[in-house]
A and B are shown apart, each in its own frame.
Chain A
């Protein structure tokens, strides 16, 4: 355990050193806001559960709530491609540390993959502790349920990360994963029958499910039997997690990602697409964009996120179809716009929030090359715009192919709103890329940051950037006029362009001033725990 303490000590020192040198204010603010929100939820849960008068609510909602916790813990990190902090096994496995010790630390780190749920479970435990009507097994039951989720999350993360490391099957595997990830939503949306985990009206859920067992332990219904069931689940999850962890320890990512040498092929379609910028632009801009496109297309992280652009449609499709009335709501009439914006938001993480993070070694070249830095930023922004346009067009084609009721006006609306939002986000992205530059690994499919931080960005930052577009929708609602909508959107576009220009020049100026800091920040690696 001395080694485990040493790893945690080094991680804390790393965090302290990074914090002392600044550069974390942005992500710290986002994380504080996001987890602060969940902390409030945790306190509310504790208050609700601690009152014996609320036992009825607890009985009615507990099994379903525990199932949702389970789904959130296991599925959301995969959907956000952000699995939380992880041990840097590549760096640590040269030392004489027993795999079982590393496994336990890694299991504890799975708290970071769904910190929101950990906070809720903490609130639940505190509430149960103070509720005199609850039995003694309740809190150990919650602890076992948390352990189950930690072990299972570890096993799933390692399994999926290894599958995605294989060059030839990565994308195929991810599509399969998305289908699997969509299953719980389908199950939840269907009228639930007894036996699938949630009680039908007046019925009982099958007690063999871990969430049913945990619920029964907390409520004191056949607590001993339920404790035995849940313990078996924990042992199975721990065995699965440990098996997957050992497999990951002996896994050679370099060998997996090697496709072998192939004879040089004649110029194919891909090569012609890469060369397209040269047809309409002059060098160095064409060369910059061409380089960006080549680099991003070859980056596993980018390819994964690009594919994820479809997830929203794929996962929400069953929702839409299973509830026929949905098309009559605001979500239904703006379906294409919503899906397009989601795709844009996902791509933003790899395309412009940290433009230099992926291709970190190129940052030095940009400062050395005889090109003004704002041209470099424009080149990166144009490449991002090309991929955003491509993503939204593909989403549109899929929607049309599936026969969804999409009109020409819907198309115009989704492209216009996406364009305005993209301009605002590109402006903000350029500033952040310079002021908050941070190296990231394009070869890994999953981020080591917590999913919560990504979600925090989605739910806290993007609404601010969306205000102009929201104003256009308000105008449409107030005047019942498409003309008013597109008129306001046109004004938004002009404002977005001005904001973009100002942000671009500000970012280029800052890059000149901060280039030494930027290069140092982009060159730095992680500590013993990547987060």
Chain B
């Protein structure tokens, strides 16, 4: 039964900071095996939502089910089944890339030898093997994203939660990462990602939700969104209602 359950099922989710709702009654269902894009302008509530899905922030109200399991009641089982590409602050800067990937593997219960072997293979796959002795603190932004994604793969998760995985990644790295993610979806994994790079989302995702002020304002397949507007960018701008700054507003500029 669990296999038929949605990968992500969120009902009436709210997160309130002080007297401001960062996420305000969010409802979302993501089928297993899909490549789902979660978009929104800055401050819309994307990162807060993904932090709640990852179990890093408890919701004020509402419910979260991942792969048919309830969060936080089945938190350990859920964590075992998901792979995370969180924001960069969750990396350990004073470990090398290989050491970090090995550490993550062991945290997911892999034997130390297996974790070490897989870490070496993942470093090769993500073309980080040349930076073996470098600390993560010395990595560029793109390399940090690559190592985070490599670590997310080590235990073969069924669901990936990714916060801006392509931020700061060069074209070669982005192509590499996209190919790996598409391969994971072909193998039945689900990907839930946030991104500001709309071209990437347009090319990869089969479904998209756009969030603004804590609420989903539009959701559908890529075809449905393109039916409303020519491009995803047009749909995005229309959905979040951006006003352009009038030319000449800043005379001194």
Residue numbers of A with Cβ under 8 A of B are 2-3, 5-7, 9-10, 13-14, 17-18, 21, 90-98, 250, 252, 254-255, 258-261, 520, 523-528
Contacts and interface: CB of A to CB of B under 8 A. Distances in A.
A436 to B, nearest CB: 16
A96 B107 contact: yes
Contacts of B92: 10, 14, 91, 525-528
A259 B15 CA distance: 14
Interface in B64-89: 72, 76-77, 79-80, 84, 86, 89
A524 B107 contact: no
A258 B77 CA distance: 31
A92 B100 CA distance: 12
A94 B55 contact: yes
B213 to A, nearest CB: 13
B56 A93 contact: yes
Contacts of A91: 89-90, 92
A258 B84 CA distance: 26
Interface string B16-48: 111110000000000000000000000000000
Contacts of B15: 255
A220 B75 CA distance: 48
Contacts of B100: 10
B197 interface: no
A520 B135 CA distance: 11
A258 B17 contact: yes
A260 B58 contact: no
Give the contact-size bracket for chain B: 35 or more
B93 A254 contact: no
A375 to B, nearest CB: 27
B106 A14 contact: no
Contacts of B57: 252, 254-255
Contacts of A525: 89, 91-93, 137
Contacts of B17: 254-255, 258, 260
A252 B60 CA distance: 10
B103 A6 contact: yes
Residue of B72, B89, B94 contacting most chain A CB atoms (<10 Å):
B94
B95 A94 contact: no
A3 B94 contact: no
Given A6-B106, A524-B94, A17 B135 contact: yes
B164 interface: no
A95 B107 contact: yes
B106 A18 contact: no
B20 A260 contact: yes
B96 interface: yes
B183 interface: no
7 contacts: A3-B106, A5-B106, A6-B107, A13-B99, A91-B90, A520-B138, A525-B92
B108 interface: yes
B201 interface: no
Contacts of A90: 56, 89-90
Contacts of B96: 17
Given A14-B95, A17-B96, A96-B80, 8 more contacts: A2-B112, A10-B92, A17-B94, A90-B56, A261-B18, A523-B93, A524-B137, A527-B93
B169 to A, nearest CB: 19
A525 to B, nearest CB: 4
A17 B84 contact: no
B104 interface: yes
Contacts of B137: 520, 523-525
Contacts of B56: 90, 93-94
A255 B86 CA distance: 19
Given A254-B17, A525-B89, A96 B79 contact: yes
B109 interface: yes
Contact of B99 (A10, A21, A93): A10
Contacts of B89: 90-91, 525
Nearest to A260: B18
Contact of A259 (B18, B103, B109): B18
Residue of A520, A524, A526 contacting most chain B CB atoms (<10 Å):
A524
A348 B1 CA distance: 61
A94 B85 CA distance: 11
Contacts of A3: 106-107, 109
A261 B55 contact: no
Q: Nearest 6 CB-CB pairs, A to B?
A: A260-B18, A6-B106, A258-B17, A96-B79, A260-B19, A95-B107
A425 to B, nearest CB: 29
A239 B188 CA distance: 44
A254 to B, nearest CB: 7
Nearest to B79: A96
Nearest to B72: A250
B216 interface: no
Given A94-B56, A250-B58, A9 B18 contact: no
A509 B241 CA distance: 51
A258 B57 CA distance: 14
B162 interface: no
Contact of A96 (B19, B20, B108, B112): B108
B225 interface: no
A91 B109 CA distance: 17
B76 A261 contact: no
A17 B100 CA distance: 12
B55 A93 contact: yes
Contacts of B55: 93-94
A259 B18 CA distance: 5
B79 to A, nearest CB: 4
B58 A252 contact: yes
Contacts of B122: none
A415 to B, nearest CB: 42
Given A254-B57, A528-B92, A96 B109 contact: yes
B133 to A, nearest CB: 10
Contact of A94 (B72, B77, B86, B99): B86
B153 interface: no
A530 to B, nearest CB: 11
A17 B94 CA distance: 6
A96 B80 CA distance: 6
Contact of A527 (B79, B86, B90, B94): B94
Contact of B95 (A17, A96, A252): A17
Contacts of A261: 18-20
A187 B86 CA distance: 50
A95 B79 contact: yes
B54 interface: yes
B178 to A, nearest CB: 24
Contacts of B95: 10, 13-14, 17, 527
Contacts of A9: 103, 106
A21 B95 CA distance: 12
A10 B90 contact: no
B150 to A, nearest CB: 16
